Amino acid sequence: MIVNAPPVAMAGPDLDVFVGGANDEVRLDGSASSDPDGNSLQHIWEISNDTVHAGRRVRYKLAAPGQITARLTVDDMSGLPCGRAYDEVRINAKPRS
C-alpha cells in the first residue's frame, strides 16, 4: 500500500498589473508550493483565456485590460488521485495611463 500526502499548491496573492507598455507582463510564481513527501512537483498554469504554461515561475504577456484568473495545478507525479492540488490567483490588469 502506498501512503501519499497530497501536495500543497500556492499560486501567490492576487495581482494588480498594468497593460499597454512594451514590456508589461505578469509574473506568476508557484515556487511556494510543496509536497510533504518531498517529491518533485510539476507546475502547470492555466490562464482564463485558455493559455497553458508549464513551470514553477512563468511570465505572461497581457494583451488588454480586464480581470483574468490563473489556475495553478501541482502534481507530485505519484499517479494517485491525491497527488494533485490546485490554487488560483486573480489578475486585475489596468490600462497604463
**Residue 34 bridge partners (DSSP):** 8
CA distance 75 to 36: 12
Residue 91 main-chain phi, psi, to 5 deg: -120, 120
CA distance 14 to 16: 7
Asked if residue 97 has pLDDT above 80, the reply is: no
CA distance 46 to 69: 8
Amino acid 1: pLDDT: 61
Looking at domain 15-95, does it have CATH number 2.60.40.10? Answer: yes
Contact 74, 43 (CB under 8 A): yes
pTM of the model: 0.90
Amino acid 32: pLDDT: 97
Contact 44, 75 (CB under 8 A): yes
